[in-house]
Amino acid sequence: MKINKKQTVPNILLSFARLMGAEIKNSRLKIPEKFGTGYCAGFILNEHMRMLISDYKLHKDVAVSNPDINARGKMIFFKFQNIFLKKATGRQLIETPSVLIATSRINTDEVISIHTNTATINIEVDASYLNGLFDLPEKSPVLQSLLQNNQPLLFEQIVYPSLQKIVDEIVTEPIGETFEMFFLRIKAEELICRLLMELEKRDEKHLLSLNSRDIQIIYKIKEQMLKHIETPPVIKTLAVNAGMSPTKLKRVFSQVFGNSIFNYYQGFRLKEAARLLKEEKLSVSDVGYRLGFTNLSHFSRVFEKHIGIKPKKFSAI
């Protein structure tokens, strides 16, 4: 990452500001009213790491050329999405807070884009810098492959509460100018460390190199599956829709999401059950039948296994 040592704002934000005809003040670009609302803030945290915080709505998509596209070298990207929880209403399952973790071998223009409605935090880190921080054990091929950055890889990790807390601190903590860059760098490194700890738990031994088509297909399959959360997935049907063999579909899905198709589906199904019980105040039987459980005793056992408490007691809390 070749950056002027005195430069504190990423080149992509400078390009965005020029397109908007607006000034960047204190590393922050306020979106002009004629283009939309919100802001985009960017920080070069050190020579190895930079961060972009985006929370805006544009009247239409805009195309911004990335001035660093040919000068990045081997980078790793962490894209936090759907993490501005306080502004969310009517959240659907496919909008669950998550992090995309990708190597620079993936076409990152498709992973990190400028769309009309964006609420993300993007962190970009030099792979060789991260790789030099760890003595990675051979038992962690996922981490080794990611940090070596020799093949196109993409992983998604659900944002759990401790990660969300760090994200909230980055966005809302009032920090003076003296300590801002130091604070943001520490928080960015903490997020990355926790995510790498989660990836180390994944047990894939041989990773498939992914292309844009594979990624688009696997996310389409996930969206279809969660859109019909009341219907358990049938691998053969999903494979036909994906244009993949059942074996490849299962491998790619597990590699990206760190879970089997059914376990991933079941986890979201039970989270939706918990939401319906707590927020919609539906009865246990209504929730069970709505989500496709024909046996309420089975629903109760599965709910307790995933949530840790029986649905009737959960709804009474």
Whether residue 230 is contained in a domain is answered as: yes
Q: In which region does residue 60 sit, left (phi positive, over 0), alpha (psi from -120 to 50) or beta (all else)?
A: beta
Is the same domain home to 178 and 217?
Answer: no
* One domain for residues 24 and 111: yes
Has residue 89 got a pLDDT over 50?
Answer: no
- Pair 267, 307 in one domain: yes
Residues 54 and 129 in one domain: yes
Domain count, the chain: 2
**In this predicted structure, what is the pLDDT of residue 111?**
37
Residue 207 lies in a domain: no
Q: Which of 61, 141, 147, 58 is nearest to 109 (CA)?
A: 61
CB 229 within 8 A of CB 272: yes
pLDDT of residue 195: 94
With respect to residue 193, please indicate whether it lies within any of the assigned structural domains. Answer: yes
Whether 17 and 108 share a structural domain: yes
Q: Does 165 share its domain with 225?
A: no
Strand, coil or helix: 37 = strand
Which pLDDT value is given to residue 137? Answer: 63
Residue 293 maps to which CATH number? 1.10.10.60
pLDDT in the model for residue 85: 58
217 and 190 in a single domain? The answer is no
Per-residue model confidence as pLDDT tens digits over 36-88: 999 999 999 999 999 999 999 998 887 777 676 655 568 899 999 888 855 43
End position of a domain, from candidates 200, 229, 252? 200
Percent of the chain topping pLDDT 90: 56
Per-residue pLDDT of 188-247, as tens digits, reads 999 999 999 999 999 888 899 888 889 999 999 999 998 899 999 999 999 999 999 999
Q: How far apart are CA 202 and CA 256, in angstroms?
A: 10
Q: Which two tokens stand for residue 33?
A: 């009213």
What is the pLDDT averaged over residues 142-156? 89
State CA 189 to chain mean position distance.
Answer: 16
Q: Phi, psi (5° rounding) for residue 158?
A: -65, 140
pTM: 0.86
Share of the chain above pLDDT 70, in %: 88
Structure tokens, 135: 């003595």
Number of helical H runs and strand E runs in the chain? 13, 8
Same domain, 105 and 159: yes
CA 136 to chain centre: 24
Nearest to 255 by CA among 96, 101, 94, 135: 101
Rounded average pLDDT over 9-36: 92
Q: How far apart are CA 54 and CA 246, in angstroms?
A: 38
Output the pLDDT for position 144. Answer: 87
| Sign of the torsion angle spanned by Cα atoms 159, 161, 167, 168 | positive
Q: Which residues contact 88 (CB under 8 A, 6 or more apart)?
A: 82, 95
pLDDT value, residue 205: 82
Q: DSSP 3-state assignment of 293?
A: coil
For residues 126-151, give the mean pLDDT.
84
Residues 149 and 261 in one domain: no
Long-range pairs, 277-283, Cβ under 8 A, ≥24? 277/311, 277/314, 277/315, 278/314, 278/315, 281/315, 283/315
Residues 169 and 260 in one domain: no
Domain hosting 229: range is: 212-316
Whether 160 shows a pLDDT value over 90: the answer reads: no
The yes-or-no verdict on residue 147 having pLDDT over 60 is yes
pLDDT at 110 (0 to 100):
40
- pLDDT category, 92, cuts 50, 70, 90? very low
Average pLDDT, the chain: 86
Please report the DSSP string for 169-214 in residue order.
HHHH----HHHHHHHHHHHHHHHHHHHHHHHHT---SSPPP--HHH
CA–CA separation, 181 vs 192, rounded Å? Answer: 16
Residues 155 and 257 in one domain: no
